[in-house]
Homo-oligomer: A and B are copies of this chain.
Amino acid sequence: MSDHSHYTPPLADMAFVIDHWLDAPADWQRIPAFAAVDADTARMVCEAAGDFCAGQLAPLNGSGDLQGCTLQGGQVQTPEGFAAAYRAYVEAGWPALACDPEAGGQGLPGLLDAALNEMIASSNHGWAMYLGILHGAYACLHAHGSDALKAQYLPKLVSGEWLPTMCLTEPQAGSDLGLLRTQAVPAEDGSYRISGNKIFISGGEQDWTDNIVHLVLARLPDAPPGTRGISLFLVPKRIPQADGSFSPNAVFCDGIEKKMGIKASATCAMRFEQAQGWLIGQPHRGLAAMFVMMNSARLHVGLQGLGHAETAYQLALAYARERQQMRAVVRPAGAAGAADAIVHHAPVRRILWNLRVWTQGMRALGYWCGHVIDLAAHAPDAGERARAAALAALLTPVVKSFFTERGFQLASDALQVFGGYGYVHEYRIEQTLRDSRIAMIYEGTNQIQALDLLQRKVLAASDGQGLAPLLEAFRAEAALPSVHAATLHNWCGKLAQATDALARDAAQDAELPARAAEDYLRLIGTVALAFAWCRAARVADAAHADKRESARYFFDYVLPDAEHWLRLVQAARHPVAPV
């Protein structure tokens, strides 16, 4: 029996995407911040990250799920080995990977941080939750914190010595942050007193780090209602004193959730009782201060979908090669026994091909998203930065929603390969399925992402060209001679038409975009995958001939999805009665 905790970092495919599909080293060369980074650097970083994930995190995944977390007397106990793995992570310097060298970081591209995060999600999603916000909190504080706050907290976050949390959600305020009630009252010393209850706080309490840096959304006394009255505060679990000691802060963990998955992650209900906090950014501009972390946060959740799909593929493929049941219609050469490995059965083979082309296609798109976020921040030319930012704005909701929905679906498909064994813990795939489900919900539900894409980004553009940055990228690929270029070109036209029709019809039917948004996002995602495979087949050299076979499978068996999403976008013209 194969070792079910085994994880093989997909280094070859990562290198294909980074070096060939993206040709990222060429971009790095012309970007001053990344001039020292080349393909070899990227490969070495991915290898070392893969070693860490496969060696330290994957072996703890199953036991972490079974043990879960416990809360006693306000203290959280995380599963065995989890804190030690984090210490090793910190000692290896991983938290600093993509941080500014001036703040003590290594200054590597966010693209490599994306690769790292994919592998962490593949190996141990529960563990990943404690540092999910680490880079985002760094970026937020780096961009909006006062010098004093930065001096005190930034080095601790860059090193990973302290971990941050993001305290947004309240019982009555989930997707609608405008409803949040946590109060912040100014104190005489320039700090604030924060009072309120927050829920679903990952790592709100843990036994990994000496201190926890909570980023808390709250309302000042003079705040206007709704989302325009929300401010952001830094509230440490323990307040650092000038002499290096700490004084306790009034921050309490009242409970941890019993969840479907990511059981190794302590999802905390937090209570702030006149806790001392410090304002980050401007009063009432808390959401704007958080905005700096939004694109990469969404990308990283999307990469969890990719990471789960990769794990599901690896698990299902290994099992299908081993498990013998019945004779295949087309038996492998030399087969003589009573049964063949199920990898030879057509229904299983289709599941495995789906897993493969989705996973590899999502990797290309996800890393592309990571790369354009890098370009938006660091490209030398302002025009290029703006174009990259526009592209990132469109790509991130697609990556977040489309990948997480499909990661869950693919995990379920992979589970089916195992038959009854798929339903038991030992084979790990059921955990992948459970863990993957959360990514469709947090960091903005997939429904919210779809509305963001269609309403706020595509349709709100006054020139009707909201989708243009993405369409242009697709069309540029379709203009290059390749096997699948004509098909891609055809789909660019259908996408443009469908978008124009939505814009036109929405003028008469204000609710139409809300009815169409999810299927519209899936349509864009599927065409984006077609773009990914068209390009992959084009740039694949002899060493990557399998990419052409995979592209063929994608265009034969997966692209038909696009027709379906298009038809459902059109169906959305029908009104939907109250339930």
Tell me which residues across on chain B come within 8 A of A450, comparing CB atoms.
347
> Within 8 Å of chain B (Cβ to Cβ): is A30?
no
Partner of A514, one of B199, B347, B353: B347
> Within 8 Å of chain B (Cβ to Cβ): is A451?
yes
> Within 8 Å of chain B (Cβ to Cβ): is A346?
yes
Render A540-579 as a binary contact track against B, CB cut-off 8 A, 1 for contact: 0000000001001100110011011001100100101111
Render A39-68 as a binary contact track against B, CB cut-off 8 A, 1 for contact: 000000000000000000000000000100
Whether A433 contacts B437 by the Cβ 8 Å rule is yes
Whether A347 contacts B447 by the Cβ 8 Å rule is yes
Q: Give the shortest distance, in Å, between A497 (CB) and chain B (any CB).
A: 18
Partner of A441, one of B329, B343, B422: B422
Tell me which residues across on chain B come within 8 A of A426, comparing CB atoms.
258
> Within 8 Å of chain B (Cβ to Cβ): is A248?
no
Whether B446 contacts A423 by the Cβ 8 Å rule is no
Tell me which residues across on chain B come within 8 A of A75, comparing CB atoms.
none
Tell me which residues across on chain B come within 8 A of A560, comparing CB atoms.
564, 567-568, 571
Whether B425 contacts A260 by the Cβ 8 Å rule is yes
Tell me which residues across on chain B come within 8 A of A242, comparing CB atoms.
none
Whether A445 contacts B423 by the Cβ 8 Å rule is no
Tell me which residues across on chain B come within 8 A of A557, comparing CB atoms.
568, 571, 574, 576
Tell me which residues across on chain B come within 8 A of A447, comparing CB atoms.
347-348, 416
Whether B412 contacts A325 by the Cβ 8 Å rule is no
Q: Could you tell me the distance between the alpha carbons of A510 and B329 in the complex, rounded to whole angstroms? A: 7
Q: Which residue of B lies closest to A408 (CB)?
A: B412
Query: Within residues 427 to 446 of chain A, which ones have a CB less than 8 A from any CB in chain B?
Result: 430, 433-434, 437-438, 440-442, 445-446
Whether B563 contacts A577 by the Cβ 8 Å rule is no
Q: Which residue of B lies closest to A559 (CB)?
A: B571
> Within 8 Å of chain B (Cβ to Cβ): is A93?
no
Q: Which of the four size classes fits the interface of chain A?
A: 35 or more
> Within 8 Å of chain B (Cβ to Cβ): is A419?
yes
Q: Give the shortest distance, in Å, between A179 (CB) and chain B (any CB).
A: 6
User: With contacts A420-B200, A564-B560, A577-B549 known, is A433 near B326, CB below 8 A?
Assistant: no
> Within 8 Å of chain B (Cβ to Cβ): is A345?
yes
Q: Could you tell me the distance between the alpha carbons of A326 and B408 in the complex, rounded to whole angstroms? A: 27
Q: Give the shortest distance, in Å, between A27 (CB) and chain B (any CB).
A: 34
Whether A174 contacts B419 by the Cβ 8 Å rule is yes
Tell me which residues across on chain B come within 8 A of A527, comparing CB atoms.
none
User: With contacts A420-B174, A434-B434 known, is A66 near B258, CB below 8 A?
Assistant: yes
Tell me which residues across on chain B come within 8 A of A422, comparing CB atoms.
441
Q: Give the shortest distance, in Å, between A370 (CB) and chain B (any CB).
A: 26
Whether A441 contacts B423 by the Cβ 8 Å rule is yes
Q: Give the shortest distance, in Å, between A572 (CB) and chain B (any CB).
A: 8
Tell me which residues across on chain B come within 8 A of A408, comparing CB atoms.
412
User: With contacts A176-B339, A338-B179, A424-B257 known, is A511 near B329, CB below 8 A?
Assistant: yes
> Within 8 Å of chain B (Cβ to Cβ): is A518?
yes
Q: Give the shortest distance, in Å, between A12 (CB) and chain B (any CB).
A: 16
Whether A438 contacts B416 by the Cβ 8 Å rule is no
Partner of A356, one of B200, B353, B425, B579: B579
Q: Could you tell me the distance between the alpha carbons of A176 and B337 in the complex, rounded to whole angstroms? A: 13
Q: Could you tell me the distance between the alpha carbons of A450 and B351 in the complex, rounded to whole angstroms? A: 14
- In the A-B complex, the 6 residue pairs with the smallest Cβ-Cβ separation, listed nearest first, are A346-B514, A260-B430, A564-B564, A176-B325, A556-B574, A258-B425
The 25 sampled A-B contact pairs (Cβ below 8 Å) are A176-B325, A179-B324, A179-B325, A200-B420, A257-B423, A258-B425, A260-B424, A261-B423, A267-B424, A329-B514, A330-B511, A343-B579, A344-B578, A346-B511, A347-B514, A353-B576, A353-B579, A412-B437, A416-B440, A416-B445, A416-B446, A423-B438, A433-B437, A556-B571, A557-B576
